[in-house]
Amino acid sequence: MSTIRPHLLIIDALNLIRRLHAVQVQQALTPAQALIATRANLINTCRKLLAGSEPTHAIAVFDGEVHSWRKEVYPAYKEGRTPMPVELREGLNTLQDAFWECGVDALLSQTDEADDLIATLSSGIALHGARATIISTDKGFCQLICPQIQIRDYFNKRWLDAAFVEQQYGVAPVQLVDFWALTGIGGSNIKGVPGIGPKTATQLLQQHGDLPALLAACQQEGTSKPLLRLRQHQDEALLAQRLVQLQRDIPLGFNLREIRYPPVPDSET
């Protein structure tokens, strides 16, 4: 019986594809040529990731046309984001095929955001003592960092690890959700607490630890100005906390055996 500990490679598919495509668009190619070049680069990049990570399992997770639960509770969620280029959206099927050509299955949900699916996949395997590597430039995944989960920023050739979080935000990974609950996240149009910026949020969390402790402290008499702002806007902070927190318990409908790498031949499944 094999004693190799499972290692799941999770590719944030659209995060990777949109950056590869943006490079091709800058080369004065036609839309059709840019899509062909993107597909070729995607295959090359995927093979590099597989060779460098040596996973036992691999999956590429796509965002579908999802009306997120976050949009239900906060209609302004991700409002104002630049839409995906039409030619890229129309070519997604061929880009999914590129992953399959590399032996990597593709997951696309019509009900859940890719970020929550990735959080569920990585957290699930970590609970069983196995490893997960997430390929993405999205710092939102840093809230998942633990000894079993690591995040690789392929384009900047760096690990988004605990040291990165400490340098970037001045807090630990477990404090990131509360950090963003205070500051908001501009890219997702999540507001946070007016008047509390990154520096103040870091100071508050270093002093008090987490959002529940801050909410308790802000009720005291003679509280500081930042805590007074939190008292006045605690509903906004709690909403931002809910929106930023990644879901880790989505039913996936498949098991690890189905995404083994290299894939298991049909005769052996």
Binding residues for Mg(2+): 115
Beta bridge partner(s), residue 133: 9, 150
Helix (H) or strand (E) holding 116: helix 114-127
Give helix 162-169 / helix 176-183 axis angle, nearest 10°. Answer: 30
- Quickly count: other Cβ atoms within 10 Å of residue 29's Cβ: 14
Residue 142 identity: C
What residues have CB less than 8 Å from 210, skipping those under 6 apart? Answer: 175, 178
Q: Is the peptide bond before 262 cis (omega within 30 degrees of 0)?
A: yes
Binding-site annotation, residues: 115, 182, 193, 196
Residue 84 identity: M
β-pairing, 131-135 vs 149-153, is parallel
Binding-site annotation, residues for K(+): 182, 193, 196
149: phi then psi, degrees, rounded to nearest 5? -120, 125
Residue 11's nearest CA partner among 138, 180, 191 is: 138
Angstrom distance (rounded) from CA 152 to CA 134: 6
Helix (H) or strand (E) holding 53: helix 31-53
State how far Cα 207 lies from the chain centre.
Answer: 28
Residue 58's nearest CA partner among 267, 258, 234 is: 258
